[in-house]
Amino acid sequence: MILTPKARRKNWGLAALFLFPSLFIFGVFTFYPFFENFRLAMFQTPPYPGLPSKYIGFSQYASILSSSEFMQSLLSTLFFVLLVVPTGLLLGLALAVAAHKALRGMAIFRVIFSSTVVTSVAVGALIFGTLMNPIVGFLPWLGINPNPPLLQSPTWALPSIAAMAIWQFLGLSFIVMLAGLQSLPDDVLEASRVDGAGAWTTFWRVTVPMLSPTIFFGLVVGTIYAFQTFGQIDILIGSQNASQLHVNVLLYYIYQSIQGTNPDPGQAAVLSIVLFVIILIFTLLQLRFVERRVHYAGK
């Protein structure tokens, strides 16, 4: 369609009008903070409040990234992601396989399994906090009284938080896997059974490869989710004990940097950029290497 200059201007005007709300929101809450963060990372915050910050450029990265506190936070984060993502995906797949069967009353289980998607982190944390409470919790009820209690133990605090993160991730993982299973063509699975494969062989040799795009999607989304865990730690552990209990994962470390009486926006900015780069690298690595083993239909 050929437009006159006037009509073209009118079209552009209309497009700008429609785009404005989302551009405004993204601009204020995403693009501006994103670039401002890079600027902040160049400035060192003085150790006393009220003094002006000082431009020191990239040397701030070096000092923060070489600190032992950062290394400990990074290790905790990686361990946490390693605990949460594979377990969450496997359990989600197992529940989806169970709920995929067309049995009477299965709809109720589907609602229950997916319910953690609509459960807020705060509510989830309170439930788990109560379960793990050394006095009124589930473990004492079972006669298990670890000392120190799980959420106060440097060994068990992180796995306990991971357990809760897995539970919270399970709803999404379940929904994604179930949707994937339901989109698989029945006749291919039936062909496998007629071809002599039992349920187990069919699952591993036919279902899982055909489900690989879904599993891959779950892997990417789950990794990003696990890297960004915050609420559980803040509610169940709190800022005071996070680092000595080894649960100050990167996102929490960022938060710790800017809260309290002497916030350090420079350090927080550097850490945010590091977290951004790590998630980016993980996602790219997954796209590059894992996706090779993914079978998309029709390819």
Residues within the interface to another protein (CB under 8 A)? 185, 187-188, 190-198, 201, 205-206, 209-210, 212, 295, 297-299
CA pair distance 237, 231, nearest whole angstrom: 10
* 18 DSSP assignment: H
Q: CB of 216: closest distance to another protein in angstroms? A: 13
For residue 97, the minimal CB distance to another protein (Å) is: 18
- 8 or 193, CB closer to another protein? 193
Cβ-contact 109, 99 below 8 angstroms:
yes
Tell me whether residue 56 or residue 184 sits nearer to another protein (CB atom): 184
Least distance from another protein to the Cβ atom of residue 34, Å: 39
Nearer to another protein, 107 or 281 (CB): 107
Contact 119, 168 (CB under 8 A): yes
What is the C-alpha separation between 71 and 234, in angstroms, rounded?
20
- Quick one: which of 29, 25, 33 has its CA closest to 272? 33
Q: What minimum distance in Å lies between the beta carbon of 203 and another protein?
A: 13
C-alpha torsion 219→70→235→38, nearest 10: -80
Burial environment of residue 286 by CB neighbours within 10 A (0 to 12, 13 to 18, 19 or more): middle
CB nearer to another protein: give 204 or 276: 204
Pick between residue 6 and residue 299 the one whose CB is nearest to another protein: 299
Tell me the closest approach of the beta carbon of residue 93 to another protein, in angstroms: 17
